[in-house]
Structure 1
Amino acid sequence: MSFLRLTDVTKFYGSTRAVSAMNLSVEKGEFVSLLGPSGCGKTTTLQMIAGFEAVSSGRIELAGKDITNAKANTRGLGIVFQSYALFPHMTVADNVSFGLEMRKMPKAERADRVKQALALVHLEAHATRYPRELSGGQRQRVALARALVIEPPVLLLDEPLSNLDAKLREEMQFELRQIQRKVGTTTVMVTHDQSEAMSISDRVVVMEGGCATQIDHPHRVYEHPSTRFISTFVGKANLLNGRVATCSTGSCNVEVGPLAVQVDEDGFKAGAAVLLSVRPEKLQLVTAGRGRLDGTVQERFFLGSQWLYRIATPAGDLMVLSPNDGRDALDEGNAVGVDWPAHCTRLLPAEEAVAA
């Protein structure tokens, strides 16, 4: 049995449906991220799990117990907010201890638990400081310690790293994952940052328009997106219009402009309009005449470790990511060939282009 289960959970604000029939099962100790753009329903879903928002219909269960209508303060969940919500007049130790005091834990036991929690986030030396005396990363860790010290069955994270600068955010992603693995707390995180969700989650729930459009392991979501939206929201993708010529078990032959491409997928009918999806980093620039397509460099952008090129081809424009290996970059106007391994392409129904 799943540790946390959402069954057909739906939320209406008046006549507006914010979350539509959400079904999600989270295993004990798992780290799951709700990923999507603003307004997709991910934060509303987290708030219903926390008990801050009432469920319009559906059911939420924790460890086999129905908590759909339970009050937030009876669920015993740990929560880290985007703003951290630390008490400015309390020291770090007092902030972390607050939840234990509310549970009337004896003072000696409370002090031991606080000490352990601060050690977990490497803030033992900052116990007597106030939030205003801490950096953003330190305040984030205090909020995490405060949530974990009560030993919650589930830890809920609402965009916990969004207020940090890029470098610190990346460092804290991995520190957060290490802490979660060490403690083993079942965790559900809301984020709009694709790299954040991909790097630290066991599974990712991609949401669009209040619906969970794909629930899978990060690698599967990236390599096998189920919709056009996911292929372009989770990373970048080149999408070329094509038509299925033939399709048999495990393989389809697709006509993309002047190009015939074999794709390791099936389930499409001959004659069906499709989108051929290939990631920019899977494309290779070769000498003109030696690739699947010939093209011309239209634009180039320097990204530090990579060059991003826009290549005009007879099948359509392609974005290509090439490593910055120290060689001179291609100039705009250069003729090039574009190639890619057969297993790197994906097919999506053409109607996804209209729906998105």
Structure 2
Amino acid sequence: MSFLKLTDVTKFYGTTRAVSEVNLSVEKGEFVSLLGPSGCGKTTTLQMVAGFEAVSSGRIELDGRDITHAKANTRGLGIVFQTYALFPHMTVADNVSFGLEMRRCPKVERGERVKQALALVHLEAHAARYPRELSGGQRQRVALARALVIEPPVLLLDEPLSNLDAKLREEMQFELRQIQRKVGTTTVMVTHDQSEAMSISDRVVVMEAGRATQIDHPHRVYEHPGSRFISTFVGKANLLPGRIAAGNRVELGTLTVAAEDAGFRPGAAVLFSVRPEKLQLVEAGRGRIDGTVRERFFLGSQWMYAVTTPLGELTVLSPNDGRPALDEGHAAGIDWPDHCARLLPADEQVAA
């Protein structure tokens, strides 16, 4: 049985449908991320689970109990907000202890649990400090300790790392995942950061226009996107218009290539999708198609090339392996393994 279950959960603001019939089952101890651009409904979905927003229709269950219309303070969930929402006049220890005080936890037990929570996030030495005396990463860990100390059945994270700089954000991603695995708390996180969701989640829920358009393991979401939107939102993709030919072949203009069978009928219009890092630059005349390097960009560990070809402009990512980069204006061939190409519907639409 699913530990947290959403069934046809829908939210209207007046006549505007912000969330449309979301179905999601989260297992106990699982880390699930709601991923999507601004306005896709991910935060509203989290707020309905938390009880901060009323559900227009549908059902939310927690461990077999219907909490659809339960008040937020009766659900017992742990929440970390984007702004952390720490009390500035309280010490770190007092901030962490606050939820236990509200639950009338005995003082001796409360002190021990606060110590354990601070040890979990490596802030034992900062118990007497105030939030203003902490770095962004430390404040984030205090907020996490405050949420975990009450031992919630579900931990809800609302863009918890968005206020951190890039380097600290990457470090905190893995620390957050390590803490979650150690504690084993069922966790649902909202984020618009693809790398964040892909790196630390057991499953990812990609949301678009209020709908959950794909729910899958991170690797499958990336390698087998279910739509044009997902292929370009989760990573980058080269999309070429094509048409299905006989024998699981795809016609791309005058070029006919193989692609993974996606159940399209012969003659169907499709989009041929291949990730930039799956393309290989070879000598002109030795690939499937030739092109000319229009621009190049140095990304540190990679070079990104914009290559003009008869099929259109393709983006190619090549590792920075010490070999000289190709100059702009250089003629090159482009190749790719057949199993790396994906086929997507050419005329997909998502209802609002």
1:331 equivalenced with 2:327 (yes/no) = yes
* CA gap 1:157/1:355 in 2 versus in 1, 3 angstroms: closer
Q: 2:300 aligns with which of 304, 316, 328?
A: 304
Partner of 1:276: 272
SS where residue 351 of structure 1 aligns?
Answer: coil
Contact 1:258 1:314 in 2 (8 A): no
Partner of 1:173: 173
Partner of 1:210: 210
C-alpha displacement at 1:37, in angstroms?
A: 0.1
Partner of 1:114: 114
- Tell me how far apart the structure 1 counterparts of residues 325 and 349 of structure 2 sit (CA, whole Å): 33
Worse-matched range after superposition: 59-68 or 322-331: 322-331
Unaligned runs of 5+ in 2: none
Cα deviations by residue, 1:301-339 (Å, 9 ceiling, x for unpaired): 111111100111111111000011122211111110000
Contact 2:77 2:154 in 1 (8 A): yes
- Tell me how far apart the structure 2 counterparts of residues 156 and 66 of structure 1 sit (CA, whole Å): 18
Contact 1:306 1:324 in 2 (8 A): yes
Which amino acid is 2:296 matched to? R
- Tell me how far apart the structure 2 counterparts of residues 217 and 328 of structure 1 sit (CA, whole Å): 37
Which amino acid is 1:330 matched to? L
User: How does the TM-score come out when normalised to structure 2?
Assistant: 0.99
The runs of 4+ residues in structure 1 deviating greater than 6 Å are 353-356
C-alpha displacement at 1:60, in angstroms?
A: 0.2
C-alpha displacement at 1:355, in angstroms?
A: 9.0
Contact 2:137 2:172 in 1 (8 A): yes
- Tell me how far apart the structure 2 counterparts of residues 27 and 353 of structure 1 sit (CA, whole Å): 31
- Tell me how far apart the structure 2 counterparts of residues 319 and 119 of structure 1 sit (CA, whole Å): 46
- Tell me how far apart the structure 1 counterparts of residues 75 and 217 of structure 2 sit (CA, whole Å): 28
C-alpha displacement at 1:266, in angstroms?
A: 3.5
SS where residue 48 of structure 1 aligns?
Answer: helix
- Tell me how far apart the structure 1 counterparts of residues 9 and 350 of structure 2 sit (CA, whole Å): 27
Partner of 1:184: 184
- Tell me how far apart the structure 1 counterparts of residues 34 and 345 of structure 2 sit (CA, whole Å): 25
- Tell me how far apart the structure 2 counterparts of residues 293 and 188 of structure 1 sit (CA, whole Å): 44
- Tell me how far apart the structure 1 counterparts of residues 349 and 76 of structure 2 sit (CA, whole Å): 44
- Tell me how far apart the structure 2 counterparts of residues 101 and 339 of structure 1 sit (CA, whole Å): 63
Which amino acid is 1:11 matched to? K
Q: 2:341 aligns with which of 342, 345, 350?
A: 345
- Tell me how far apart the structure 1 counterparts of residues 221 and 246 of structure 2 sit (CA, whole Å): 26
Contact 1:281 1:321 in 2 (8 A): yes
1:141-180 aligned within 5 A: 141-180=141-180
C-alpha displacement at 1:352, in angstroms?
A: 2.9
Q: Percent identity?
A: 85
1:262 equivalenced with 2:284 (yes/no) = no
Contact 1:228 1:353 in 2 (8 A): no
- Tell me how far apart the structure 2 counterparts of residues 81 and 246 of structure 1 sit (CA, whole Å): 53
Partner of 1:285: 281
- Tell me how far apart the structure 2 counterparts of residues 100 and 284 of structure 1 sit (CA, whole Å): 57
Which amino acid is 2:121 matched to? V
1:133-144 aligned within 5 A: 133-144=133-144
Cα deviations by residue, 1:30-64 (Å, 9 ceiling, x for unpaired): 00000000000000000000000000000000000
- Tell me how far apart the structure 1 counterparts of residues 10 and 351 of structure 2 sit (CA, whole Å): 22
Contact 2:205 2:213 in 1 (8 A): yes
Contact 1:300 1:310 in 2 (8 A): yes
- Tell me how far apart the structure 1 counterparts of residues 246 and 185 of structure 2 sit (CA, whole Å): 49
- Tell me how far apart the structure 2 counterparts of residues 182 and 96 of structure 1 sit (CA, whole Å): 19
- Tell me how far apart the structure 2 counterparts of residues 256 and 308 of structure 1 sit (CA, whole Å): 23
Contact 1:275 1:350 in 2 (8 A): yes
Partner of 2:127: 127
Cα deviations by residue, 1:255-296 (Å, 9 ceiling, x for unpaired): 011211111214101111100000000000000011011111
User: How does the TM-score come out when normalised to structure 1?
Assistant: 0.98
* CA gap 1:191/1:352 in 2 versus in 1, 3 angstroms: same
1:24-103 aligned within 5 A: 24-103=24-103
- Tell me how far apart the structure 2 counterparts of residues 133 and 267 of structure 1 sit (CA, whole Å): 58
Unaligned runs of 5+ in 1: none
Q: 2:313 aligns with which of 298, 314, 317?
A: 317
- Tell me how far apart the structure 2 counterparts of residues 196 and 301 of structure 1 sit (CA, whole Å): 24
SS where residue 89 of structure 1 aligns?
Answer: coil
Partner of 2:246: 246
SS where residue 352 of structure 1 aligns?
Answer: coil
SS where residue 215 of structure 1 aligns?
Answer: strand
- Tell me how far apart the structure 2 counterparts of residues 284 and 352 of structure 1 sit (CA, whole Å): 29
Q: What is the aligned length? A: 352
- Tell me how far apart the structure 1 counterparts of residues 86 and 269 of structure 2 sit (CA, whole Å): 54
C-alpha displacement at 1:353, in angstroms?
A: 8.3
Contact 2:33 2:201 in 1 (8 A): yes
- Tell me how far apart the structure 2 counterparts of residues 214 and 158 of structure 1 sit (CA, whole Å): 20
Which amino acid is 1:310 matched to? A
SS where residue 29 of structure 1 aligns?
Answer: coil
